[in-house]
């Protein structure tokens, strides 16, 4: 091969190697960006959407003007699980509850973990659809023992639900209503409660945790 062709081949090989390296670096950057975006919108224990993504989807659903419902649920006696069996068992419990909720069929649109042992469902539909989803959530948790690292647990949940009453209903109102209904269920010792529009929402600063 002539010196000229050798030089051309060397230069071309260097360019191709540089392009390959640049392509690999770009791919890694894109993968890292996608991973960061996913972590910002999903819960690390359960892999469910987190509060931020749930609110984004709730706002989008309300903006469409279609009927939508919100279900909030809180595991009964979850603190006792952490205190007696340890946090590994508690995390196992959260993960398996998340799987059961994520498996719920339509009209459930999104299952999310908001914080601690509190989960939320975004429901496509009105009052009847939301009530159906709320009872399905309660049943799927209570139906069978849940296996954790230390054995099996039988769990129940306190479930509250509400739905968009009109086109002016906002995310904060829906979350507050579902939250009030959930705590009404908890005061009664578990079960499912629908928000009563005749009842005034109690002033609880803790409710704003849903909207942060």
Residue 210 has pLDDT above 60, yes or no: no
Which CATH code fits 51-211?
Answer: 3.30.70.270
Higher pLDDT: 189 or 22? It is 189
- State residue 167's pLDDT score: 76
Query: How far from 189 is each of 70, 77, 182, 184, 199, CA to CA, in Å?
Result: 21, 11, 11, 9, 19
Catalytic residue among 117, 128, 179, 208: 117
Q: Express each pLDDT in 37-52 by its tens digit.
A: 777 999 999 999 999 9
What average pLDDT does the chain have?
Answer: 86
How many CB atoms are located within 10 Å of the residue 165 CB?
Answer: 15
Percent of the chain with pLDDT over 90: 67
Q: Residue 22 in 3-state DSSP? A: helix
- State residue 197's pLDDT score: 82
pTM over 0.85: no
Query: Is 196 tagged catalytic?
Result: no
- State residue 5's pLDDT score: 57
Token pair in block for residue 40: 């910002």
**∠ at Cα 190 (86, 196), nearest 5°?**
135
Range with the poorest average pLDDT among 30-39, 63-72, 99-108, 168-177: 30-39
Q: Express each pLDDT in 168-195 by its tens digit.
A: 889 999 999 999 999 999 998 879 999 9
- 112, 146, 181, 125: CA torsion to nearest 10: 50
Residue 98 has pLDDT above 70, yes or no: yes
């Amino acid at each position: 091969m002539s010196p000229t062709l050798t030089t051309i081949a060397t230069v071309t090989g260097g360019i191709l190697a540089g392009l390959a390296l640049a392509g690999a670096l770009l791919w890694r950057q894109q993968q890292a960006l996608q991973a960061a975006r996913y972590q910002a919108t999903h819960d690390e224990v359960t892999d469910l959407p987190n509060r931020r993504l749930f609110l984004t989807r709730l706002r989008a659903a309300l903006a469409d003007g279609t009927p939508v419902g919100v279900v909030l649920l809180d595991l009964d006696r979850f603190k006792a699980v952490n205190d007696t069996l340890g946090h590994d068992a508690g995390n196992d419990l959260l993960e398996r509850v998340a799987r059961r909720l994520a498996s719920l069929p339509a009209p459930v649109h999104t299952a999310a973990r908001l914080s601690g042992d509190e989960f939320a469902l975004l429901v496509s539909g009105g009052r009847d659809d939301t009530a159906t989803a709320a009872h399905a959530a309660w049943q799927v948790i209570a139906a069978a023992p849940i296996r954790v690292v230390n054995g099996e647990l039988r769990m129940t949940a306190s479930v509250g639900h509400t739905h968009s009453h009109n086109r002016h209903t906002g995310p904060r109102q829906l979350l507050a209503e579902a939250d009030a209904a959930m705590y009404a269920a908890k005061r009664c010792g578990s079960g499912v409660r629908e928000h009563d529009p005749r009842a005034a929402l109690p002033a609880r600063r803790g409710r704003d945790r849903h909207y942060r």
